[in-house]
Structure 1
Amino acid sequence: MSDRHAISPYPLRMPYELRTALEAAALGVGRSLHAEILARLDSSLQEDRSGLSDDLLESIGLQANLTLALAADLDAGALSVEQRRALEALTRVSRRIAERFSG
């Protein structure tokens, strides 16, 4: 957004309660109402593009860590060959996910 005058203005009507909530959020992070609306719209579009919300991504990371902890405590000798293979595959994937979310 190089020149703000090159962008056509767009009048936006919104309920009073929404506007006051956005104004309060903007004030809390030191932005103008306009900048807050743009930041939230951009964040929403990025989330749409990724297809995953932050909560879902956090949940995936936690599940991967839980899988690794449970796999470490499991007596692999009590599993069938197929179950061991499945556990090994799940553990590999969980390690990759955990590494992605830890760094």
Structure 2
Amino acid sequence: MAKAPITVKSEPVGPLAKTAEELAVEEKRLQDLFLLIETMFLREETTVKLILECLYDIGSVNLINKKVRKRPLNRLMKYIARLSKPVFRIVAWRWFMKNCPKLLVDWLHGKVTKI
């Protein structure tokens, strides 16, 4: 008579919980990452400002074309958008430096914690 195969029931094993030391190291490395990204943006200020300017040019034209259908009013709105560009640069740079490093660190942290 053939013997039945031996089966062992086991509960699914999840990842191990992080120790307090591992959590402290992770938090320290996230702070380091934040400082590195912030420093990189400050060092590459001109590049970031040019990127924001390109996005403003593309976005303002697309938004005006989508919302303003009448040709004379469309041209007027594009002219106003060009005049407001210096104000946008200042506001966008301040917003970028205040929010972007934290958003980027959180996004990158989310990517490596899913592993």
TM, length-normalised to structure 1: 0.26
Q: Which has the larger radius of gyration?
A: 2
